[in-house]
């Protein structure tokens, strides 16, 4: 296992980060098995665990906590805050009120006194970024978190947060956690260069393209929608959808590249983000012990320039074969009223 320093924190983390989104009712509901998977990952040299309060409504954090009670000093622990946790208008978001409340719940579920990396899971257009950074800075001073970062923020908001922190004397985002895969390279345009310039660590998610880079879904073959990711969102795997067709076309070309390299498609997919100089660690999200073991077989795979050039020919740098699942969309695009003048105003003009 290779290790890299996470941004400017001084923390050395494994190049593979164990993601735990699939631990709990959404994925693997067997707590004992999930605990065994985490222990096995730690035994193989992974020292970086990423979870979130909203994964299976807190269940994932509870599972991770069962491991931490014996191995807390072995783990660089990351979790997140933002998404709603229960009913009510103020039980989510990036406000001071919610952050200082929810960090206590995460600490309780995780069974620890501190979180190494506390991440803001998505932007919140209703909250001033200074409010968020101020609350997080206070948590660092209180010793409840060691550093904080953001997840799936666009480049312009990362830059804005950096300058607000600088002007107000607040601590800044040390990391960014974006989606990045052979099928989704959009962050190469702005997010990764910005992270490099600001000295941020980057831990990327969805290296397997929501399952399309596992090798399980192939062109000309019936898609198995009975288990795994397709059960969470079947529409993403609709074989008649143009996006699905485009993904499968590219997958066939990438399978050929993997065969030339002498590795599996998943091994190629996970090695790809780690080839970028901005990337610190790639998040893997096994649901079973078998998936973990198969993933760890690729830790020694390193892609040379010839292979990366071949990949660039198939999926040009900075392009997305499809918009990554789960990314943040600005309200200016999702809320029509924000880009349309009132009807009476338009009529008057």
Residues annotated as part of the active site: 55
Which residues are CB-neighbours of 206 under 8 A, at least 6 positions away? Answer: 179, 180, 181, 184, 283, 324, 325, 326
Listed as own residue / partner, the contacts of 310-314 with beta carbons closer than 8 Å and 24 or more positions apart are: 310/257, 310/260, 311/182, 311/254, 311/257, 311/272, 314/250, 314/253, 314/254, 314/257
DSSP 57: G
Structure tokens at 53: 């309060």
Residues 6+ apart with CB under 8 A from 38: 18, 20, 23, 49, 63, 64, 67
Whose tokens are 């649901």? That residue is: 287
CA pair distance 258, 213, nearest whole angstrom: 11
* Token reading at 330: 């600005």
Q: For residue 28, what are the β-bridge partners? A: 23
> Is-contact 255 316, C-beta < 8 A?
no
């Amino acid at each position: 296992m290779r290790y890299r320093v996470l941004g400017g924190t001084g923390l050395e983390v494994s190049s593979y980060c164990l993601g735990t989104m699939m631990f709990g009712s959404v994925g693997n509901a067997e707590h004992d098995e999930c605990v065994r998977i985490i222990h096995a990952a730690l035994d193989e040299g992974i020292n970086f665990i990423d979870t979130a309060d909203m994964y299976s409504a807190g269940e994932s954090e509870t599972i991770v906590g069962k491991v931490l009670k014996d191995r807390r000093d072995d783990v660089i622990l990351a979790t997140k805050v933002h998404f709603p946790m229960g009913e009510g208008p103020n039980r989510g978001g990036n406000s001071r009120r919610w952050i200082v409340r929810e960090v206590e719940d995460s600490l309780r579920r995780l069974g620890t006194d501190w979180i190494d990396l506390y991440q803001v899971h998505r932007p919140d257009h209703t909250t001033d970024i200074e409010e968020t950074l101020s609350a997080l800075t206070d948590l660092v001073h209180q010793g409840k978190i060691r550093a904080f970062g953001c997840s799936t923020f666009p480049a312009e908001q990362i830059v804005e947060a950096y300058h607000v922190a600088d002007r107000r004397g607040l601590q800044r985002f040390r990391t960014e956690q974006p989606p990045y895969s052979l099928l989704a390279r959009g962050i190469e345009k702005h997010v990764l260069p910005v992270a490099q310039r600001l000295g941020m660590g980057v831990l990327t998610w969805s290296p397997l393209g929501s399952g399309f880079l596992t090798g399980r879904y192939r062109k000309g073959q019936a898609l198995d929608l009975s288990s795994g990711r397709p059960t969470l969102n079947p529409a993403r795997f609709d074989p008649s959808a143009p996006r699905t067709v485009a993904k499968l076309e590219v997958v066939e070309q990438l399978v050929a590249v993997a065969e030339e390299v002498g590795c599996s498609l998943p091994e190629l997919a996970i090695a790809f983000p780690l080839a970028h100089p901005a990337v610190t660690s790639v998040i893997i999200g096994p649901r079973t012990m078998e998936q973990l073991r198969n993933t760890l077989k690729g830790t020694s795979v390193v892609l040379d320039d010839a292979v990366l050039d071949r990949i660039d020919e198939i999926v040009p740098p900075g392009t997305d074969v499809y918009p990554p699942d789960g990314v943040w969309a600005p309200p200016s695009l999702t809320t029509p009223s924000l880009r349309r003048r009132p009807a009476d105003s338009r009529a008057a003009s």
